[in-house]
Amino acid sequence: MTGFLRGAFFLLIVRPVLTLVLGAHVRHRDLLPATGPAIIVANHNSHLDTLTILSMFRLRDLPRLRPVAAADYFLRSRLGAWFALNIIGIIPIVRGGRGGAHVLGPCEDALDRGDILILFPEGSRGEPEVLADFKRGVAHLARARPQVPVHPLFLYGLGKALPKDSFLLVPFNCDIVAGEAFRWTGEVESFMALLQARMAGLAAQIHRSPWE
């Protein structure tokens, strides 16, 4: 039943909104991972980001697509937790976990099962079309699973269509640009530098650098 509800939600609600209201256009769709394990890394400006990425795949692929999200935010209420876990399919993680807690353990387990993770290394949603500094969690995950490809993805317009703290959807043409995959570079600094360079390159296909 959960699988049916999840498929119906994306087929009957999410996809029509993205196509008819937002005119979402995907560039280089063929660069998206066809199979797992894989990591998709994207910028984050709106709650629409996750729904948009999930809708880019076939309905039958939804069970293996796992957005990584903050447990303290998405599991606050019983209804919200059910929706996040069963319809969106998140992997909840504890932000700021320290000590003996292995925060990325559930992500590594998902990759070992052949899933495709969706990560937003900026953390929380930021200002529309402005990239914040990337957190290094994605680099530590790539180091733990160096054979897993990392697919950069740049989303444009969703932060204006549904900004942070807004519940009113504004029609705004949106673009999604997929980039060439890469893998663990051997050190955190070089990995993060490569990731930021790849994201800037994708952003430049739409407009000027989002760090300007």
User: What pLDDT, on the 0 to 100 scale, is given for residue 100?
Assistant: 39
Residue of 191, 98, 103, 99 whose CA lies nearest to 150: 191
- Phi, psi of 175, deg, nearest 5: -125, 145
Residue type, 206: I
Q: How far is CA 149 from each of CA 24, 156, 171, rounded to the nearest angstrom?
A: 25, 23, 34
How many residues does this entry show for the chain?
212
Q: How far is CA 2 from each of CA 58, 62, 171, 200, rounded to the nearest angstrom?
A: 17, 12, 30, 38
> What sign for the dihedral angle of Cα 33, 191, 209, 155?
positive
Kindly provide the residue ranges of all beta strands, DSSP E only, lying in 46-172, ordered along the sequence. Answer: 65-70, 91-93, 116-119, 150-156
For the sheet with 25-27, list strands across it: 25-27, 175-178, 150-156, 38-42, 116-119, 65-70, 91-93
User: What pLDDT, on the 0 to 100 scale, is given for residue 25?
Assistant: 85
User: What pLDDT, on the 0 to 100 scale, is given for residue 54?
Assistant: 94
User: What pLDDT, on the 0 to 100 scale, is given for residue 212?
Assistant: 44
DSSP letter, residue 202: H
User: What pLDDT, on the 0 to 100 scale, is given for residue 209?
Assistant: 44
User: What pLDDT, on the 0 to 100 scale, is given for residue 195?
Assistant: 95
How does pLDDT run along the chain (212 residues), one tens digit per residue? Answer: 788 899 999 999 999 988 877 778 889 999 999 999 999 999 988 888 999 999 999 999 999 999 999 888 888 889 999 999 999 999 998 876 554 347 889 999 999 999 999 999 986 655 656 667 788 999 999 999 999 999 999 998 887 777 666 666 666 778 899 999 999 999 999 999 999 999 989 988 886 444 44
First to last CA, the chain: 47
